[in-house]
């Protein structure tokens, strides 16, 4: 017997009252943010860290990245974005660019009703993302008692090297 299809009410109808003791987990792309694509944020980071040439390389390779992302593996597509955007850049440059530029653009893309429901949960909030944690860290985008569960970096002589998982 097939399982019945459950529909849930929109998060806009979620009551925020009495949620101080609740915990919440949300995906960043598509849930907390209106956009489901991380490409604009990687493009900004590539431009800030590596300048016009790195951003142009990312833009030129974006059709191939999109095909890998849609046809083969979302994780492989994200890894390609990460590698082209920041591989070889100094750790300090990536952190500074991520904290200086990305919060403003993330804030402009926030889905207001999802964010209100997420922030109402006071005990613990966790954001799950395929993006590197340095792009969505507590000091830059997320504030308060919110944890971010994202990709990690491997540091080699002060330079970024993407690491899967």
**Residues 160/140, Cβ–Cβ less than 8 Å:** no
Total domain count for the chain?
1
Contact call for residues 29 and 37 (beta carbons, < 8 A): yes
pLDDT of residue 150: 65
When pLDDT is cut at 50, 70 and 90, the band that residue 165 belongs to is very low
Residues 162, 87 contacting (CB under 8 angstroms): yes
- Please give the Cα distance from 66 to 80 (Å, whole number): 10
- pTM over 0.95? The answer is no
| The pLDDT value given to residue 152 | 63
Query: Is the residue at 11 inside a domain?
Result: no
- The verdict on residue 135 lying in a domain is yes
Q: Please identify which residue in the block is written with the tokens 């590539």.
A: 46
Please check whether residue 11 is in contact with residue 113, taking contact to mean a CB–CB distance below 8 angstroms.
yes
**Is 96 a residue whose pLDDT tops 50?**
yes
Q: Which of 23, 88, 14, 11 is nearest to 51 (CA)?
A: 88
Q: Report yes or no on 52 lying in a domain.
A: yes
With respect to residue 65, please indicate whether it lies within any of the assigned structural domains: yes
> Which residue is it, tokens 């440059």?
93
Residue 77 structural domain? 22-162
The proportion of the chain whose per-residue pLDDT surpasses 70, expressed as a percent, equals 78
The phi and psi torsions of 162 (rounded to 5 degrees) equal -60, 145
Q: Is residue 15 part of a domain?
A: no
Residue 6 lies in a domain: no
For 155, phi then psi, to 5°, come to: -95, 125
């Amino acid at each position: 017997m097939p399982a019945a299809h459950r529909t849930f009410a929109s998060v806009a109808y979620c009551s925020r009252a009495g949620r101080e003791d609740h915990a919440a987990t949300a995906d960043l792309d598509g849930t907390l943010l209106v956009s489901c694509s991380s490409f604009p944020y990687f493009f900004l980071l590539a431009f800030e860290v590596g300048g016009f040439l790195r951003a142009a390389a990312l833009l030129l390779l974006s059709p191939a990245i999109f095909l890998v992302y849609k046809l083969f593996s979302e994780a492989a597509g994200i890894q390609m974005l990460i590698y082209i955007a920041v591989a070889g850049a100094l750790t300090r440059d990536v952190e500074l660019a991520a904290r200086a530029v990305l919060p403003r653009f993330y804030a402009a893309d926030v889905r207001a009703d999802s964010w209100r429901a997420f922030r109402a949960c006071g005990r613990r909030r966790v954001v799950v993302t395929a993006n590197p944690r340095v792009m969505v860290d507590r000091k830059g985008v997320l504030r308060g008692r919110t944890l971010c569960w994202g990709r990690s970096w491997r540091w080699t002589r002060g330079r970024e090297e993407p690491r899967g998982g």
